């Protein structure tokens, strides 16, 4: 499991001061970026810009149990649930850092594609390695 923390910013919340649900999907993307930095020097940017590999989320679902508010810190624990040949599934457990209160549980399936052809490709070995290291 890899843990990523980020503050809830004013831009993340709606008029009631609560994190707007699509923002959680952005948090998951940030957590994946942080995970890739563990094995790839320039992380996600290197994968996309230099290696021309796309990592589109092709399915995502979530359950939300408690609100996060402006000023809170979100703690996102990311674990690999499944690794296929051309896609992988990640689980994101979001808690409020101050007290560990569970906030949301999300699951996303990410494909690996060649950005030039947009065709699926095998998961690169360095990415597979970090996924294996964080398997649940």
CA distances from 89 to 70, 99, 121, 135 (A): 29, 28, 16, 10
d(CA 26, CA 31): 9
Domain boundaries, the chain: 2-133
Assigned superfamily of 2-133: Hotdog Thioesterase (3.10.129.10)
d(CA 108, CA 106): 7
d(CA 132, CA 79): 9
Residue-wise pLDDT tens digits, 1-42: 899 999 999 999 999 999 999 999 999 999 999 999 998 888
Summarize the confidence of residues 97-109 as an average pLDDT. Answer: 97
Instruction: Lowest mean pLDDT of 36-40, 56-60, 63-67, 69-73, name the range.
Output: 36-40
Given this model, what pLDDT does residue 92 score? Answer: 98
């Amino acid at each position: 499991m890899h843990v990523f923390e980020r503050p809830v910013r004013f831009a993340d919340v709606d008029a009631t001061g609560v994190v707007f649900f699509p923002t959680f999907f952005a948090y998951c993307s940030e957590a994946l970026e942080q995970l890739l930095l563990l094995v790839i020097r320039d992380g996600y940017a290197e994968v996309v810009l230099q290696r021309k590999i796309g990592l589109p989320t092709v399915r995502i679902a979530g359950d939300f149990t408690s609100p996060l508010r402006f000023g809170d810190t979100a703690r996102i624990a990311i674990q690999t649930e499944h690794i296929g040949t051309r896609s992988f599934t990640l689980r994101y457990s979001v808690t409020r850092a101050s007290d560990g209160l569970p906030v949301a549980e999300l699951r996303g399936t990410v494909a690996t594609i060649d950005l030039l052809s947009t065709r699926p490709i095998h998961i690169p070995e360095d990415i597979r390695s970090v996924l294996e290291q964080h398997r649940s």
